[in-house]
Amino acid sequence: MFRNLFFQGKTAYKAQSLQAIAWKKFRKNKQGMFLLCFLGFVTLIATLGYLITLDSTPYANEQILEIRMQKPFSRITFLEVEKQQNIQKRNFFGKMIHGQPSFCTAIPVSTYWLSADSIHVELFNELPPYNRASYSSAEAKIVQKTYYLGTDRYGRDVLSQLIIGARVSLSVGFVSVFIALIIGVFLGAVGGYFRGKIDDVIMWFINVVWSIPTLLLVIAISFALGAGFWQIFVAIGLTMWVDIARVVRGQVISLREREFVEASKALGFRSLTIIFKHILPNITGTIIVVAAANFASAILTEASLSFLGIGVQPPMPSWGTMIKENYGNIILPDYAYLAIVPGIAIMLLVLCFMLLGNILRDILDVKEGNEK
């Protein structure tokens, strides 16, 4: 028993040592650390979400048509009148996750002046004599808001939509890659280790799924499950496991004949123990590289589906939906940024994951070369 425990611990220690060496080399890579910091910054911004957005209403969907299509850095003055209905105030985490419905009705104004206990205003973009109104200062107040990326055709804050849309892209990436890893690693490891008829059946299934174009398969699964936020996770995850399974299978086939696997069999370890405790820890680096590439693919696929209208549904913001709603403005010099900005956001995030995957691949190749 002690010999079995010693051997098991030695194998795990070797895998952890190789991972430590790879992490040490990664920390010395300035480009890799910059990309990791950028990814951490985007994740932090997306996590904070409604706590830092100008529009903290659910889905950042406060529509004020009077200020639609405002230019970046526009500063608008609002008269906020308290709503009559009772709106429950959410706690810190409730607001961070779901947003906070507005307690006031925001009325854009051009100018205002005070007299006694009243506030007199000239309404924004209204013609006389309908542009003047008065409110009691006890039930209304004047605030100013700066729209750093302007507003869209519905009068929504573009920057708030962009920040909340980052949540969708990162969430789809994490969840769909997690689903793909569970399916792909399990099927690839089982097929590569047992070989024979089990491997033939798994490879037949992999080849069948591989032969179907990815986007068409995602669209088919989306139609079957229905368009929505959680459905898109499952749809993308069920299509990205194939390349993971193929890579893991190849790695397991190359490792199953190594001495430590033969020693594990001789010591009487069960097959699943050998796979998950001795073989998989030694191919963790390869799995991470494939997962990084799949993360980028998941973001692009989600944006494509949202652009086609079968992904995340309004009013939930998504970078693909923002491009769909504003792609007609590409030909307008003053408003082309409404479609370009979310496109640049997608490009930067995808590029970040692709470059991280390349850096990790180079580091792991060096590690394997030193090991040999």
Give DSSP secondary structure letters for 225-276. Answer: H-SSHHHHHHHHHTTSHHHHHHHHHHHHHHHTTSHHHHHHHHTT--HHHHII
User: Both tokens of residue 293?
Assistant: 């590439």
Query: In the predicted model, what is the mean pLDDT of residues 270-292?
Result: 86
365 — pLDDT class (breaks 50, 70, 90): low
208-261 pLDDT, tens digit each: 988 888 778 888 888 888 777 788 888 888 888 998 999 999 999 988 888 888
370 — pLDDT class (breaks 50, 70, 90): very low
Distance CA 284, CA 281 (A): 5
187-207 pLDDT, tens digit each: 999 999 988 899 999 999 999
Q: Which of 158, 143, 168 is nearest to 63 (CA)?
A: 158
Query: Is the pLDDT confidence value at 272 over 80?
Result: yes
74-90 pLDDT, tens digit each: 999 999 988 877 888 99
111-134 pLDDT, tens digit each: 888 887 888 888 887 767 667 888
* Identity at 87, one-letter amino acid code: I
Q: What is the CATH number that goes with domain 2-45+159-371?
A: 1.10.3720.10
Name the residue ranges covered by the structural domains of the chain.
2-45+159-371, 66-153
Query: What predicted TM-score, i.e. pTM, was given to this entire model?
Result: 0.86
